[in-house]
Amino acid sequence: MHDEGRPHQEEDQILALAKAFEAMVEAGDSRFFDHDDLEMLIEHYLERGSVRKAQQVHHYASGLYPESLSLQLREAQILASNGKHVQAIPRLKNLLSFEPQNEEIHLTLANIYSQMHEHTLALQHFNAVLEFADEELKKDIYIDVALEHENMGEWKQAVRILLKALKEDPSNETALYELAFCLDKEGRIQEAAEFYTQYLDDHPYSFAAWYNLGNAHQRLGKYKEAVNAYDFAIAIEDSFAPAYHQKAEALTALERFGDALEVHRETLLIDAPQPSTFCYMGECLEHLGNLDEAEQYYMQCLELDAHFLEAHVGLGVLDDLREDWNAALEHFAQALLLHPHHEDTLLMMATVLKKLGRHEDADTCLVQLLERNPKHLEAWEERVDNMQILEAHEEALNLLDNAFEHVPPTSTSLGYKQFVSLFALRMDGEALRLLDHLLMSDYDGMNRLLETYPGLLDDPRVASRYARMKP
């Protein structure tokens, strides 16, 4: 009980000390303060960002203890807190010549160099501390060293240090999270999944490990495994909101929209409402066919953040589903004001413009999209389809020639569109040879094509090939 109360006693002591010092300054008095008390008071003010008060204490303390090296260190820290790194560094180096194994001097220099983006110099001082620091301090320094390597994009070195940190202290949650981040940066997702699986064999109650295992599974597309991992994380730490958010995302990927919706509702009980949560709830309800309720959640999202792009897009999708295409265009236009080159919005806007018969405007949207991303297959499909609706089949074939310069010529979706235009232009031989190839490669593609052009089966040559190739 005595140990548990000690931090509160120390805090009360510091607050009483601060009150006494501030009262002295306000009264214009002068009194004696113990050296350690003044140093502790400077640290107190610096930790709270009260640099001016820290300077005030330091000035007073220097008058009482002019030869104190530790007060010179505090002066350098005050300079650093004011952004005066150039003045702080020589003072710290001078102090280091007197106390070459002073951990605090090295750490102050390391933090200054890190803030200056001089990461190599920061590493020199962090590594110097590792040479003589006690085991407890080393746990923190390992993380600092790893972060400096991350700042330089040296992911392998960071991974090496983080694995060492976890070997020394398997309960180091910061190391668990940073390791996941670094392995992800290197694309070593499978390795991350294997590491956390093995780690959990020895530490089955680590919610951080379960959470990061879930993230690894999710990145690998193993959504069921991800949901299971998040469930374990939540069972261990039921107030950890990110696990709920990620679980809902995995459930959405599994198209379990009702379950994802319920998980989003749970997050509202443990976390402050986020615009993204309301937007994701709207998307789930949209997939469940509850369009009016989905609209309410999209609107709640925009009440929290009027510039939330996905909510504007979602409202446009709802109006598209309601066949209120002019209203849909207004929402898509609002989204494009926020993000003029957003590919999904440009594509959806083009499809709505086609439905309104505004084919030239639709083509303008698609051209804009393809100028930025010439490998966008759906945009090519929509642009060719736009020409075919107008029965401009020669233009459609020219577009296809252009498309095949950017997307794989093996694309059966574009291949079937090529067949349509060749057949419409009575280039029967070439069209039927292409159809034979397409039916062998992607028979289901023909079924999708017939939804748009059922009359193709009126031609016995097409019908016989379709029947003969049926799986």
Which amino acid appears at position 142 of this protein? Answer: Y
Is the pLDDT at 233 greater than 90? The verdict is yes
The pairs formed by 97-102 with CB atoms below 8 angstroms and a separation of 24 or more are 98/69, 99/69, 101/132, 102/73
What does the pLDDT look like over 14-44, one tens digit per residue?
A: 787 778 777 777 777 777 777 787 778 878 8
For residues 123 and 145, the answer to whether their CB atoms sit within 8 Å is yes
Percent of the chain with pLDDT over 90: 73
Tokens read off for 82: 């004011």
**Quick one: pLDDT at residue 64?**
66
Is the pLDDT at 7 greater than 80? The verdict is no
Q: CA-based diameter of the chain, in Å?
A: 108
The pLDDT of 179-200, averaged and rounded, is: 97
Total domain count, the chain: 1
Phi, psi of 197 (to 5 degrees): -65, -45
Assigned domain for 449 exists: yes
For residues 319 and 349, the answer to whether their CB atoms sit within 8 Å is no
Assigned domain for 465 exists: yes
Assigned domain for 315 exists: no
- The DSSP symbol for 356 reads T
The pLDDT of 169-195, averaged and rounded, is: 96
Gyration radius from the chain CA atoms:
33
- Angle subtended by helix axes 241-253 and 275-287, to nearest 10: 30
Assigned domain for 111 exists: no
Q: Using 50, 70 and 90 to split pLDDT, how confident is the model at 63?
A: low
**Quick one: pLDDT at residue 55?**
77
**Quick one: pLDDT at residue 6?**
43
Distance CA(317)–CA(303), nearest Å, equals 19
What does the pLDDT look like over 433-462, one tens digit per residue?
A: 999 999 999 999 999 999 999 999 999 999
Q: What is the pTM of this model?
A: 0.81
Assigned domain for 181 exists: no
Contacts of residue 102, defined as CB under 8 A and 6 or more positions apart, other chains included, come to 73, 95, 96
Is the pLDDT at 51 greater than 80? The verdict is no
Is the pLDDT at 250 greater than 50? The verdict is yes
Q: Please state, in angstroms and as integers, the Cα–Cα distance from residue 456 to each residue in 98, 301, 349, 411, following that order.
A: 91, 46, 29, 21
Owning domain of residue 424: 402-471
Q: Please state, in angstroms and as integers, the Cα–Cα distance from residue 267 to each residue in 213, 262, 300, following that order.
A: 20, 9, 15
Assigned domain for 407 exists: yes
The pLDDT of 220-234, averaged and rounded, is: 98
Q: Using 50, 70 and 90 to split pLDDT, how confident is the model at 218?
A: very high
Q: Would you say how long the chain is, in residues?
A: 471
Q: Using 50, 70 and 90 to split pLDDT, how confident is the model at 69?
A: confident
Assigned domain for 458 exists: yes
The pLDDT of 116-145, averaged and rounded, is: 91
Assigned domain for 454 exists: yes
Contacts of residue 149, defined as CB under 8 A and 6 or more positions apart, other chains included, come to 119, 123, 155, 157, 158, 161
Tokens read off for 271: 């976390």
